[in-house]
Amino acid sequence: MPALSLVVCVYHQRDLLERLMQRAEGCYDELVVIHDGPEHEPSDNPLQGDDLTKGKLPSHAIPQLAVDFADPDRLAEAARFWKEKTGSAVKGSVHELVQTHGGRFFEGPRCFNHECQWPFAWSQCANDWILLLDSDEFPGPELKAWLKQFRAGPGSDSASGYTCVWPLWDGQKTLSQKYPRGRLFLIHRQRVRYFAMGESRPRPDAAFQDLDLILHHQPSRRSYGLRNVFRKDGARWRRRIAEALLKRPTDLSCWRWNSDRWPQEWEQIRQRPLHTAIKRLGLETLRGLREQWRTGKRLFPMAAVSGPLYHALICLEFRRQRRIFVSQNSDRNGNET
């Protein structure tokens, strides 16, 4: 019988995390929660105020180690960036909530996204099967029943992971039942490879299996739309992705990843950012509208365009960051000569 470790990366969000644990009760065997940065930051912490809203990150706050966390020796080298809280949990804190539910709580460096915390989180799990849920999500009844059945059964000797449906949410009600598909929710950590970057998806050794089951995504706002694309966090995330693309995948925290080559969808951005932005914005929007109609005979134009638009903006941000990088290197080389 396969045991499952539930991994959740949060930044505060105690109420949402509590809802998730209540709705996912009986679906996992171990809870590992990573807090993105210190839960209780000291008053002199530099990551406050305008630095947070404008995305200014002091270099010491960003983990720079290129570590494969699937390698125990390299994991030990990176231990200074991730520490387990050993003190008493503060009343009303995320740490206390996790402790109450028998989970393990860690504080990582402030990365401003959960993807960058995954390699370390996976390394701390006792089980190879990892349930990847966000705090503002929870499984629908059928998915919850499937997870319980999966844990009670023989498991799979070949599947790298499973995907499900991730319905649209307007802030008050669910709008779709079959769209969008492909949300990766369960992986076998020894059958995937991964580099830690925003919008990066684990690469399977064998194809992921698609399930016609629902994982609800219900934040306090709409789960899609232009407001999500243009919010302040979005600009910070795109800048961090663009800066990472100036390097190599192995310059990032990784899990079983050893190639310096970028996967094709990211290499296309590196080679032709403007062309890729225009092409993806048009084609992916049309594909989204077609999938909406095919699965529900109803169109949600803002949902169809928001994802492609976000990725088009990543392309444009990379183009901008590349120009800055080239200009800075030119100035540096000129000063040296």
Question: Dihedrals φ, ψ of 93, to 5°?
Answer: -90, 165
Q: What is the pLDDT of residue 86?
A: 59
Domain boundaries, the chain: 4-40+56-217, 226-336
Chain segment 240-291, per-residue pLDDT in tens: 999 999 999 999 999 999 999 999 999 999 999 999 999 999 999 999 999 9
Contact 306, 337 (CB under 8 A): no
Whether omega before 180 lies within 30 degrees of 0, making that bond cis, reads yes
Average pLDDT of the residues in 79-96: 77
Q: What is the pLDDT of residue 28?
A: 97
Q: Grade residue 40 by pLDDT with cuts at 50, 70 and 90.
A: confident
Q: Grade residue 87 by pLDDT with cuts at 50, 70 and 90.
A: low
Q: Decide which of 3.50.50.60, 3.30.9.10, 3.90.550.10, 3.20.20.70 is the CATH code for 4-40+56-217.
A: 3.90.550.10
Q: What is the pLDDT of residue 34?
A: 93
Stretch among 32-46, 150-164, 176-190 having the lowest mean pLDDT = 32-46
Chain segment 301-335, per-residue pLDDT in tens: 999 999 999 999 999 999 999 999 988 877 666 66
Chain segment 190-237, per-residue pLDDT in tens: 999 999 999 999 999 989 999 999 999 999 999 999 988 998 888 999
Q: What is the pLDDT of residue 109?
A: 83
In this prediction the pTM is 0.89
Q: What is the pLDDT of residue 38?
A: 85
Q: How many of the other CB atoms lie within 10 Å of CB of 252?
A: 22
Across the chain, mean pLDDT equals: 88
Chain segment 43-84, per-residue pLDDT in tens: 334 343 334 334 444 433 444 568 899 998 878 777 666 666
Question: Dihedrals φ, ψ of 162, to 5°?
Answer: -135, 145
Non-local (6+) Cβ contacts of 273 within 8 A are: 315, 316, 318, 319, 322
Question: Dihedrals φ, ψ of 239, to 5°?
Answer: -65, -40
Q: Grade residue 186 by pLDDT with cuts at 50, 70 and 90.
A: very high
